[in-house]
Structure formats: structure tokens, C-alpha cells
Amino acid sequence: MSDATPALVGRRPILVTGGAGFIGSNLADRLARDGHDVLVLDALARPGVDRNLAWLTERHPRRISAVIADVRSETELAAAARDASAVFHMAAQVAVTTSMVDPVSDFEINVKATLALLEALRARPEPAPLIFASTNKVYGDLADVGLALTDDAYLPVDPAVRANGIGESRPLDFHTPYGCSKGAADQYVLDYARSFDVPTSVLRMSCIYGQRQMGTEDQGWVAHFAIRAIEGEPISIYGDGAQVRDVLDVSDAVEAYVAALRDIRGISGRAFNLGGGPQNAISLRHLIRHLSDLTGREVEASYSDWRPGDQRYFVADARSIRTALGLNAPVPWRKGVANLVAWLQAERGLDAVAARPARVGALS
């Protein structure tokens, strides 16, 4: 079902699939602020994203237009892509757990819809560029990376990996239906640059967090932990909590996507890791300690078995993308998480709680 406003009739907007989602809405907002017309295509299936779309259209009534549709509707998808000047493909089934329950829908959303979008662009006389939101899950569980448990965190034994993280030269190794579907789409996007000269690039994201994130237990763990901490509820952890991820503030992720479009001809056909890097690598236990500091009360946690395909360690070696696109150093994780907590409190009509001094021991 289309619900496009007339604001962009006769103009060539940038299409953002999944543009009402967490990263998509932040990206659409940035593009509109930069003076671009933006067409958001979103099914509004995820709870809370309708508020993101309302926020976008209120802020940019003449820049933002919307089509309420599922990416599995090839007719709607092709129509949205027909006049787009560029495409950011953010729409996806995003949870490993959901893919284990319904791998067919996971495939249809993540692979089939991506291929349909690529075909729609290839059919144009001059294909529009496409930048695809991929994931670190394409590298599998990284079980062969030797780890040592240090200060409540799994860290690589290899000093080079510990210093820099996992690079793009790491062989792909898809685990779980989600890993397979995102990995397959990742490879299709790259191959359309090779085979059909469609200008494309892939950003394999680590853990992105920040304002407008509707975190749940299955996806968006930083916001989910923050929401539970604010509400005084315990947090469920799968594994021992020492698993490490590099976290990246959404403002830095958006900057990377905008820069990728700006230099799409120079980076076409390339995949980049996008994350906070070693300086923003934290374990789940580190985040819980920081949230206790920010909220002024201890955050309780319970522990269950590891989930399929979970990585004990993933930190992106993001040197390639920062060099290629001239990106600045990312927001320090403690500052970014504090900003997220303040935003979540404001969204709930709560007064911000003054943070106690940060505890020592967490990775910065």
C-alpha cells in the first residue's frame, strides 16, 4: 500500500528502504538536513518505527516522502526505485532468533528483495548507486580466533588482532539462516558492480547504537540494555557476558553512509567493515557496569546458554573505511551511551539521573 505525500512529485529523491527504522531514520534525517529529497519505503512492521516516520515528516515536511510497503512487494519496490537518484538499502529481517524460527521469510526479505531491488536498478538506462547495510555475521562465529578472558572480556591472543580487530580479508563463513541471508545479499550487491556495472558498496556493520533505537532482546542490545536499566528491570544475557563487541554511535554510522555515497564511484564493488574499532570495544558486562553508573543503581543480570552463531568476540578493523572515506574518530562509547540514556529518559518523560564517576576496568 502506498502512502506517498505529494512533496516529491517530479523530483529524484534518495530512496532509503527501511527508512523508518533506527539507522534508516537517522540517515533520512541527515540527508534531508543536507538538502536532499528523501523517499522512505518501510512496512512499519517493527513496534515504534511509526513514531520515527512521524518525527521525520514533522521535521522535514517538504523533503521527506513515504511509501508504506513491504520490500517483498516487487511492484512497490520497483516503483520506488524507478526515479531514485541513489538507494540506501537498510530494510531487512534483522534478528538471528527470528531467522531460526522462519528462515523462509528471512530469505525472502533479505535475499529475494535485495535481488529484486538490484534488478530494478539494472533495468534503468543509468543505474542508480546502491549502498547496502550488511553485518559482521557474514564472518561466522570466529571460533578459530584464539581468545583469553581478561577483565570480564574475551580478547584475542594474537596481538595484531587485539590491536586492530577483524579485517575485510577474513574469509566469509555464514552461520544461521540470518547469516546466510545477509551474506548472500552482501555478495549479490558486490557482484552487481562486477557483472553489471551497477555502482554499489557494502558496509558490514558491527553494533550500532543511539537515538531512535527500539532495542529488544533479539536485536539492538545496547538500547535494550539501557531501556531495562532505566526501567529497573533485570537483563537476560545469553552466554557469560564477557563476549565483546565494538559499538558505534549512529551519528558516526550515518556519516560513513553519507561519505560512501559521496565517493561511490571510487569505492564501487568494495565491502567495508564499519564499527567502533578497538577503542570502542566493550563486553556486555562492561556495558552493564556503565549503565549502573549512569542510572545510579545496580543493574541485575541473569544468564542462559549461548545462542546459535554467537561470537565471543567481534571487533571491526575499520581502518579501511576510515582511510578510504576520510572519516573522523568515532564518538567514545561512554559518551555515546550516556547520550542514549538521556534520550531514552526524555522519551519516557523522566528526569535524567546524574551519573556517578565511571568505574575503572572497562575497555575504552
The Cα–Cα gap between 364 and 362 comes to 6
303 noted as active-site residue: no
> Could you tell me if 198 and 192 are in contact, meaning their C-beta atoms sit under 8 angstroms apart?
yes
> Could you tell me if 5 and 66 are in contact, meaning their C-beta atoms sit under 8 angstroms apart?
yes
DSSP output for 62-113: TTEEEEE--TT-HHHHHHHHHT-SEEEE------HHHHHH-HHHHHIIIIIH
Alpha carbon of 76 to those of 68, 110, 124, 143, 218: distances in Å?
9, 16, 16, 41, 28
Q: Alpha carbon 149 to chain centroid distance?
A: 27
Question: Which grid coordinates belong to 37?
Answer: 529529497
The Cα–Cα gap between 161 and 293 comes to 30
Active-site residue, from 178, 188, 192, 313: 178
Q: Alpha carbon 174 to chain centroid distance?
A: 18
Question: Within a 10 A sphere around the Cβ of 132, how many other Cβ atoms?
Answer: 26
Alpha carbon of 278 to those of 84, 152, 263: distances in Å?
37, 16, 26
The Cα–Cα gap between 281 and 316 comes to 9
Q: Is 237 helix (H, G, I), strand (E, B) or coil?
A: strand
Residues that are catalytic: 178
